[in-house]
Structure 1
Amino acid sequence: MAIEFYNVFEYAIVRDQLIANTVLVALSTVAIALRFLSRRIRRSKLWWDDVCIVASMLNTYGMLAMHYHYARVGMRHHITDIPMDNTILIFKMLIVYQIVYYNCMVFAKVSYLFFYLHIFVTPGFRMAARVCMGCAGAYWVGSMLQIFLICQPFAKNWDSTLPGHCASMNVAFSTIGAFNLITDILIMALPVHHIWKLQMSSATKVALYCIFGLGFFISAITIIRIHVLTTVNFSDLPYSMIWAAFWSVAEPALAITNACVPMMRPVFKAAFPGIFSSAKPTYSSQAGAQSGASGSAFKRVRDTESEMPLTQLEPSKSGSRGQEYEASLNDRSHDGGSTHMPRSVIGESDR
């Protein structure tokens, strides 16, 4: 029996979800465009965070395309109302859907972590960021293993009549989703301590917390998705998958937009100079009891154009507590081997 195709807008709820996800993916595309425009305005070079966010965006396009195709082959129809070939295709697509989703999320996480490495220079923070990268990598590996090992033989994923066994997909999806949530929270919490140590106006500090705190909104979406996955009935997947499919596209689209928000200030400043231009204050970090081979003072952050001062917490080279140094506006090599301070992605002056 040949595959039968359906009107993707047959059901209002499917139509609304497709439109909503299309809008979210379009917004994330605009966010990436503004991200690269900001790079151009500052004349700053592209780096691995940009590469990773583009990779995440490409996979998100794939997610949206499959969402539309799910609607074409019978999503929101009961399994008894569609041809068997449609059902088999839906289950086969689920395998690809998972791979693309996990790629979306991991690339978005790694992009954010590369962004952190670009602007924070303290050895402790950089080590923590790399540990989080390792956690993101472990999340991806575990996700791939779950996809290919949950059913033995593998073909039992789409043919339940074959001899063998499958573990509970609801439990597997929820477990992987929980690990996804944990890594999100770790990544969003990383800069909290460093921002707290910066001496700046309360308004600026709150603005920084808001920028980095947007990721916790993505965590809320992740929680919703985990709950939805527990309600999917795999014996009637075409009918019950609708909300899982929706949130699985919405989550990476929002994560990409969130990862681009910290880069957008130069664009808004160029578009609305009266709003975003201000005086040229200088901020410094608090000299606290921080470990380091050469002392406990931190380098001063000089914000020459009132950009968000997200750099440069690094132990001073003199060893004297409380001494401050001017932050270099030169680019820093990203392997940590250069002696120059990095230009702040958000805090650099326009050239």
Structure 2
Amino acid sequence: MTFTFPIETQDQKALIGCGVAFSLLPAVVVYLRILARHKANRPIDTSDYLIVISCLFVVCYQAITISAVFVGGLGFHVDDIQNRFGIESGATVFMKHLVALQIFWALGLSFCRISIIHLFARIFVIQSFIVTARITCVVIFLWALGAILTPFVACRPFEYTWDKSIEGGGTCGNPLISWFVTGSVSMICDLVILLMPMPSLLRLELAWTKRLMLAATFGIGILTCVVSVMRIISIAGIDLEDVTFTMPHAILFSALEPCIAVTLACVIVLRPLFGGEYLPDGTATFHTPSVDAIARKNSTRRFRQLNDDSSETRLRPEEVGYRATIAKSPEPFKGFGVLGEGLEMGLISIKQEWTVKEEPRPTTSETQHR
């Protein structure tokens, strides 16, 4: 019969509480993302399926964490597990949990990152961006593969990972080094994904305030980078001789990292839930003011109108000196995912042309006498 450890320490309570919260939060935002798709009349695409899979791995990670507390003795000293509770195998059960935790941590993060990149690739259809996105996906795949295989190749034989008493013994590398390496590469991947859309956003023909707002919306991924740094720092405090007591903080940050990643990946596409009308093809419609209202709003000029007799020269447009054309695309531009997958930057392009000609004021008898 499996022994169940009592919940006594603050670390145990924190791991259980965060495990529940970190399961509910990504599940709720993923549901809201699907709901936003439905409200905007947009079909579920690959990025949505990937984020759903990522969410499932994240929830599984939290379940394994809670199991490690109740069954693996996470939060207690190894000596307490052996002497107080009479479990001779010590941290054996926890180390089995740790292998599963590393696998689900890597899977949850990698699927989430590829989902974000796929979404960005539909928004920013630029050749250089597409190339960068593909290279980043390859790096993420290789990172995930390395993180998943590491616990299987770190010790020979594999069972020696959790059972140091097996007949004939075995050898193990230093797991702290592999955790540092996978954590550092993970943080670099987060930074690359964070910076990828910034050049395209800052080059948009929008007011600086709007560009900065968009950059801030996409830049909330910096929170994931911060958590990655905290996770790497916490790894430095792990004592492999007392792993069940020194591991909770690292596991807590490892649980928080994919949870925040999934949450932020969904937040940037939830705009349809906050209002707006959408056509059956997924195109957003906007309630813009009338032409008269726009004319009244822009009636204040930045220069003073000249009277006929106020200068030796006058400003006069040529016969067809001013032309303005307004055109609306008949169909949404599919390459941009209806221009922004919820960003709704608009589908109207306006081109204005005018010419100002300066010519001498006509000579009259009145001006000759002045």
Change (3 A) 1:347 1:76: closer
Change (3 A) 1:328 1:24: farther
Q: Which residue identity lines up with residue 55 of structure 2 in the other structure?
A: M
Q: CA deviation at 1:134?
A: 0.7
Q: Which residue of 1 aligns with 2:342?
A: 346
Aligned counterpart in structure 2 of residue 170 of structure 1, from 166, 176, 191? 176
Q: CA deviation at 1:329?
A: 4.6
Count of residues in Structure 1 that have an aligned counterpart in Structure 2: 294
CA distance in 2, matches of 1:263, 1:251: 20
**Where in structure 2 are the equivalents of 1:103-114 lying within 5 Å?**
103-114=107-118
Q: Which residue of 1 aligns with 2:262?
A: 256
Change (3 A) 1:219 1:140: same
CA distance in 2, matches of 1:90, 1:328: 60
Aligned counterpart in structure 2 of residue 124 of structure 1, from 109, 121, 128? 128
8 Å contact kept, 1:4–1:86? no
Q: Which residue identity lines up with residue 65 of structure 1 in the other structure?
A: A
Q: CA deviation at 1:325?
A: 8.9
8 Å contact kept, 1:31–1:257? yes
Matched, 1:78 2:84: no
Q: CA deviation at 1:248?
A: 1.4
CA distance in 1, matches of 2:9, 2:245: 11
Q: Which residue identity lines up with residue 235 of structure 1 in the other structure?
A: E
**1:14-63 alpha-carbon deviations (Å, 9 max, x no partner):** 21332234223322222111111110011111111111111111011111
CA distance in 1, matches of 2:198, 2:330: 23
CA distance in 2, matches of 1:3, 1:237: 20
CA distance in 1, matches of 2:251, 2:261: 16
Change (3 A) 1:325 1:136: farther
The answer for unaligned runs of 5 or more in structure 1 is 272-276, 282-323, 333-339
Q: Which residue of 2 aligns with 1:95?
A: 99
CA distance in 2, matches of 1:189, 1:154: 39
8 Å contact kept, 1:327–1:341? no
**1:235-290 alpha-carbon deviations (Å, 9 max, x no partner):** 2111111111211111111110010011111102269xxxxx98659xxxxxxxxx
Q: Which residue identity lines up with residue 162 of structure 2 in the other structure?
A: W
Q: TM-score, normalised by structure 1?
A: 0.78
CA distance in 2, matches of 1:234, 1:341: 50
**Larger CA Rg, structure 1 vs 2:** 2
8 Å contact kept, 1:174–1:229? yes
8 Å contact kept, 1:328–1:342? no
CA distance in 2, matches of 1:239, 1:26: 26
Q: Which residue of 1 aligns with 2:5?
A: 6
Q: Which residue of 1 aligns with 2:47?
A: 49
Q: Which residue identity lines up with residue 342 of structure 2 in the other structure?
A: I
Q: CA deviation at 1:227?
A: 1.1
CA distance in 1, matches of 2:110, 2:88: 34
Q: CA deviation at 1:328?
A: 6.6
Matched, 1:197 2:203: yes
Change (3 A) 1:207 1:280: farther
- The secondary structure found in structure 2 opposite 1:81 is helix
Change (3 A) 1:124 1:65: same
Aligned counterpart in structure 1 of residue 62 of structure 2, from 61, 64, 81? 64
Q: CA deviation at 1:66?
A: 1.1
CA distance in 2, matches of 1:341, 1:14: 46
Change (3 A) 1:91 1:328: farther
- The secondary structure found in structure 2 opposite 1:75 is coil
Q: CA deviation at 1:140?
A: 0.8
CA distance in 1, matches of 2:117, 2:262: 13
8 Å contact kept, 1:113–1:187? yes
8 Å contact kept, 2:23–2:58? yes
8 Å contact kept, 2:54–2:108? yes
The answer for unaligned runs of 5 or more in structure 2 is 82-86, 278-284, 290-325, 347-370
**Where in structure 2 are the equivalents of 1:1-351 lying within 5 Å?**
3-7=2-6, 9-73=7-71, 74-82=73-81, 83-85=87-89, 87-162=91-166, 163-269=169-275, 280=288, 329-330=331-332, 332=334, 342-344=337-339, 345-348=341-344
User: What percentage of aligned pairs have identical amino acids?
Assistant: 23
- The secondary structure found in structure 1 opposite 2:189 is helix
8 Å contact kept, 1:55–1:107? yes
CA distance in 1, matches of 2:15, 2:101: 17
Bigger mean CA offset, 196-205 vs 13-22: 13-22
Change (3 A) 1:86 1:160: closer
CA distance in 2, matches of 1:348, 1:249: 33
**1:73-113 alpha-carbon deviations (Å, 9 max, x no partner):** 21111112221346211111111111111001101110100
